[in-house]
Each structure stands twice: as structure tokens, then as C-alpha cells.
Amino acid sequence: MLQESVLIEKNEEIAPGLYFLKIKTAGMAGQAEPGQFIHINLGTIYDPLLRRPMSILNAQGETLSVLYQVVGRGTRIMTRFRPRDEIDVLGPLGKGFEIEDSGQNFLVGGGVGAAPLVFLAHRLIKKEVDNKFFLGMRERELLFIKDFLPEEVEFFSSHENSPRGEAKQVTDLLPPHLKTEKKTSLYCCGPEGMYREIASLCNDCGDFSIQVSIDRRMGCGVGTCLGCAVKVKKPPREELQLVRACIEGPVFRWQEVNIDGT
């Protein structure tokens, strides 16, 4: 983890209420792994007090980028950042995706939270296997995330306003692709309900490994405040334990996560 004063290169609204932020770092971008996040100081002293965690969209050379949606006071303050401004950032933080040796890779995203899969896609194309990206959004206009993907990745999309007969949920896209004898790794970012559906679809379909990114509110981002606890099942007795999404996560293997608390 590094703490740097970074230079803003871009902070542009690319869809209503959705911004693309690009920063120039000294060493942070070079250390980043897909699935990790950064923690941004808003430049305020007391209100808002806490930094804002942002998943890494991509990192290349000295630059690092994120997508963020304006949902409250903190992200509204971020919209005021201008090129050549300097901001204080911690990162990269958390545990990212573990890239596996598989016959093919499925990247499954739901909503703007799918952003970390873009970074992962750029890493996976270095392996000579099939890489498929499945994206579900509420509106067709938000499918622009495809523009950030490498052209080698096969892209499939759905949106809730799709015409009758077309896929409305990202999980509607998966069944035909799950009929395979190849060992397949699934890397998922989205709502937890989507993860349950994906796991259910994969149960009887073959050799699948599922990793998921768990979204929790984070205070400190460095494991001290314990505000981002996640219940996981630890072998060999499958006993439930609380771990920190900002340290032991945010990426977990699906079979170890206890989302329902049962």
C-alpha cells in the first residue's frame, strides 16, 4: 500500500451521473491488481470525514482510472476535481482476483460495479484461452463499458429495457455458454443476488470456479475500523468467521462466502 499525492488527468461525465476519473501516480498504478481498490481523500477536513473507496477500472504504466457514480455528498465533491488538481490517495488496497489456469474465462458483471472486470480482462488476454465478458445494465446507454475492453474479449450484454424475447438480466445470457467440457473460471462483480443465481446455474454444469467481489461500506479501508465485515466459512469444519472486506477481500471464492448468514 502506498500513500501518494496524485495528479488528476481527467474527470469527465461520460453518462448522466457517471464519471471517469484518471490519475497519474508515482508507483501505485504499477502495484495494482484487478479487483483491488483505492481510497480517495476528498480534500475536506471534517465533513465528509472519511475517504471514498473506488474500484480500479484499469491501470497502465503510471496511470490509474476509476468509474464512479454520483450517489451522495462525497461523490458530488469528487465531480469538482479538475485536471492538474492534486489529491491524496491510498492504494492499491484489498485482495484482488486470483487468475487461474482454465480452459476459458467468463467475466460476469452487473451494473457500474462491473468496472473491476475491465482491468481483469486486460490481464486475461495475455493467456491464449477464450475470454467472454457478460454485462447486464439497467439501460442500454450504460453498456458503454464495452468501450474500455480489449477487442480480443468476446462481449455479451443485456439491459432491463430489452425488447421482448431478448435477455433482460445478465444471468439470462449464461446458460448456453455453461454447456461446456472446458474447465471454466467465473469472475463476478455485481449484486449478491446475481451471485446466487450464477452459482445455481453452475451447480450441475461441469467444472466451474467462481470468484466474487463483495461490496461493503468501508470506513478506514485498512482493516482497523472493522466496519466492512463479511461472514465466511472456514475449513475444515466450515465454521463461520468474520473477516474484513478491505483486507481479506473484497474478492472471495463463492463457496466460502456466507451472504445469507445461515
User: So what's the pLDDT on residue 145?
Assistant: 87
Confidence of residue 166 (pLDDT cuts 50, 70, 90): low
Closest to 212 measured CA to CA, from 241, 239, 184, 186: 186
pLDDT of residue 168: 75
- Average pLDDT of span 5-27: 96
Look up residue 14 and give its three cell numbers: 461520460
pLDDT at position 262 over 60? no
Q: How far apart are CA 198 and CA 201, in angstroms?
A: 5
User: Residue 206: which pLDDT band, with cuts at 50, 70 and 90?
Assistant: confident
The residue whose grid cell reads 497519474 is: 24
**pLDDT tens digits for range 220-243:** 999 999 999 999 987 777 788 999
pLDDT grade, residue 169 (50/70/90)? Answer: confident
Give percent of the chain with pLDDT exceeding 70.
95
- Minimal CA–CA distance to 90: which of 46, 40, 50? 40
Q: What value does the mean pLDDT of the chain take?
A: 91
Q: How many CB atoms lie within 10 A of CB 28?
A: 24
pLDDT digit string, tens, across residues 80-120: 999 999 999 999 999 999 999 999 999 999 988 899 999 99
Q: Which of 47-51, 135-139, 185-189, 239-243 is predicted most confidently?
A: 185-189
Q: How confident is the model over 23-57, as pLDDT tens digits?
A: 999 999 999 999 999 999 998 778 888 999 999 99
Q: What is the model's pLDDT at position 163?
A: 66
Domains of the chain as residue ranges with CATH: 2-93 (2.40.30.10), 97-213 (3.40.50.80), 218-262 (no CATH)
Determine how many CB atoms are found less than 10 A away from the CB of residue 150. 13
Cell of 59: 491501470
Encoded amino acid at 91, one letter: G
pTM of the model: 0.93
pLDDT > 60? residue 137: yes
Q: Is the pLDDT of residue 260 over 70?
A: no
Q: Taken in order 95, 101, 102, 104, is the CA torsion positive or negative?
A: positive
